[in-house]
Structures are given as structure tokens and as C-alpha cells.
Amino acid sequence: MTRVAAIDCGTNSLRLLVVDLDPATGRAAELLRRTTIVRLGQDVDRTGRFAPAAVARTFEALDGYAADVDRLGVQCIRFVATSAARDVTNRQELTDGVVARVGVEPEVITGDEEAWLTYDGATRGLRGDPAFPEPLAVLDIGGGSTELVTSGDAGGPGIRGESMDVGAVRLTERHLHDDPPTARQVAAVEADVEAALGRLRLPLGEVRTLVGVAGTITTLAAMALGLGRYDRGWIHRARIPTADLVRCVDRIVRMSVAERKALPFMHPRRADVIGGGALVLGCVVRRLGLTELVASEHDILDGIAWSLAPSQVERAGSPVELAGSLAEPGGDQRVNRQEQVT
């Protein structure tokens, strides 16, 4: 077993996963999973720079993660930064702070690699299962960007993915200025998303199973399931009818931020931007025309962790579009798991 730590630094959230990996069996024993909404991408779309307050919030959360990593005796760590970090002129400030706290440099990965890692993490345990017919597509709605990755069927073209510069924080800051947003503002978001979808070169018409990851989708899944609190166990691998999701999208968008915060499954720091992410989800599910979405609590964090497994290291820089297939899927064994959302 190899004990690894994966840190995902996104536009909205900073997340940590500590897991024991057994590459021989493809199994993982999850020890700790934490999410802190730090809003690192605050105003990046407008200024092109990290805001001092956003950097401070990120470093405060990272100090706690560093303590967890030390306490659990992690052998290897990988810190991945995504959309917001690609767009800024003061990236070195983030790099220096990360090195000082966890001893590794943040990797500012491309949208293609972000899509690859998300697909690998989200579909382990699904690939090859007849209950989830291929081709699969994984949808990851982040704060600054949205990744969509598709797989070919047997003998198909392999994994293909693209990253779109439409995300919950970016679209909210760009268009959704009223509370709740006006119909014109909502239409402006949908126009941006539809334009981005129209530029994709993915075979979306062939997709048979849509897997949705990350906070926007899992929160809307909680709403569709009627949960009284956010519960990963109920959400993971839940099959949500897309008609129910679309109704939840419409409901969330019409709510004020205060009304969203009152929902028992809503993280209060997500409430002001989830409308933008929800509109992305609505556009995608309507475009694909599938009857359901499979919600997944496994995502890029799990892909980052598996990239550190001894037999997977050579895949760490793999492009999304591959001629061959991914590694055989494994199961997940969760022991002594603690989940913290701050």
C-alpha cells in the first residue's frame, strides 16, 4: 500500500484527499477527504490576478491540510491547480506559498489534463460495468471552467475531452448581478454556455451514460433526491432523472442567495454562485438528451491520487485523447474515513 495525498486547487474550492492505494488490486482505502470553499478565483475573470484576500483564505486552509498530511504520514503528495491559476499574472505568489506549506510546487495543469484526471477518478469502478453502458461522458462543472470527457465504445477512439471557460464563479461574476438574477441575465449565461458547447468537437450524440461530478452537480443531486442534509453515501452513484435535474436547476436559479442558504444540503459559501453552475448543467443535459445522470462523489481528486500510484506514475502527464484503454477499474474500500467541509 502507498499512502498519498492529492490536493486540488480550483477556482472555488480547495480540496484534500488522503488515501492508501493498492495498485496490485486497484483498491483504495480512503482516510480523509476535505473541502474548503476559498474562492481563489475571486475577480480573476475581471482583473487577471489573485485577490489578496483570496490568497489569504487559500493559505489558511492549506495550513490545516499540511497538518493533516503530516499527522497521517503521507508518503507522496501532488498539488494540482486548475482554471483560476491558468489565468493570472501573479501565479508565483501561489507557488511560493504552497511550497512553504506542503513542500511541493503546485502543478498548473492544462484543461486537457484536468479532463483526463477527472475522467479517471470518476469512472473507476464504472468502466466495464454493464449497468453503466459506454460510451461514458464525465461532466465536471468547476468555478472557472467546465470539463466534458467522453469515452469511445469497444474499438472506439479512446478518451477525448475538452475544457470550456464557463464555470459557476466565472459566469456569476460575468452575468448574474441581481439577486435573484433577471431573465435577461440568465439568458446571457445560457448563451455563453451554448456557444461553448457548440465549439466542442466531442461525439456527444454517441454518449449513453452521463456521470456528473463536483459540488454544483452533487448539490443539485441532493435537491433532486430530497435529502434533509448533504450525504455523500446517498449521492454517490445515484441515478437522477434529467427531468428532475432540470426542474431543480430552474428552482435554484429563481431563488435568492438567502433562500439557497436555507436549504439543508447547501454549503453556505456555494449559495451565491451555484446558479451559474446550475445553468451550465441545464444546458449540457438538454444538449445530450439522456434520461438520467449518474452523480459521483469521485472526481479529479481521485484521479490525482491514482496518478501517484507506482504503476500509474508514467500516466501523470498523459493527454486526454488516447488510442488505448485506461487501466482496469478497481473498487473502493473506505476505512476510517473522515469527511470535512469547511
Is 163 a residue whose pLDDT tops 90? no
Range in 29-33, 92-96, 161-165, 238-242 with the lowest mean pLDDT = 161-165
Fold classified for 2-110+301-312+324-341: Nucleotidyltransferase; domain 5 (3.30.420)
What percent of the chain has pLDDT above 90? 64
| 249-304: pLDDT as tens digits | 999 999 999 999 999 999 998 999 999 999 999 999 999 999 999 999 998 899 99
Closest among 175, 208, 203, 209 to 279, alpha carbons compared:
175
157 — pLDDT class (breaks 50, 70, 90): low
Q: Are 308 and 74 in contact (CB under 8 A)?
A: no
How much is the pLDDT for 114?
79
Report the distance separating Cα 247 and Cα 298, nearest Å.
24
Q: One-letter amino acid identity for 27?
A: R
Is 19 a residue whose pLDDT tops 70? yes
How much is the pLDDT for 144?
84
The domains spanning 2-110+301-312+324-341 and 113-295 adopt the same CATH topology = yes
Q: In terms of CATH, what superfamily is 113-295?
A: Exopolyphosphatase. Domain 2 (3.30.420.150)
How much is the pLDDT for 168?
94
Is 244 a residue whose pLDDT tops 50? yes
Q: Judging by DSSP bridges, how do beta strands 107-108 and 13-22 pair with one another?
A: unpaired
Is 235 a residue whose pLDDT tops 90? yes
How much is the pLDDT for 55?
94
How much is the pLDDT for 288?
95
Going by the DSSP 8-state scheme, the letter that residue 270 receives in this structure is: T
154 — pLDDT class (breaks 50, 70, 90): very low
Is 48 a residue whose pLDDT tops 70? yes
**Centroid of chain to Cα 57:** 20
167 phi, psi to nearest 5 deg: -145, 170
Report the distance separating Cα 4 and Cα 85, nearest Å.
23
Q: Where are the domains of the chain?
A: 2-110+301-312+324-341, 113-295
- Please state, rounded to an integer, the average pLDDT across all residues of the chain: 86
Q: Are 304 and 118 in contact (CB under 8 A)?
A: no
Pick 125 or 21 by higher pLDDT. 21
Which parts of the chain fold into alpha helices (H)? 44-47, 52-71, 83-86, 91-102, 111-123, 168-175, 183-198, 215-225, 232-235, 242-254, 257-261, 274-288, 300-307
Is 341 a residue whose pLDDT tops 70? no
321 — pLDDT class (breaks 50, 70, 90): very low
319 — pLDDT class (breaks 50, 70, 90): very low
Is 117 a residue whose pLDDT tops 70? yes
Q: Are 342 and 35 in contact (CB under 8 A)?
A: yes
Q: Are 305 and 81 in contact (CB under 8 A)?
A: no
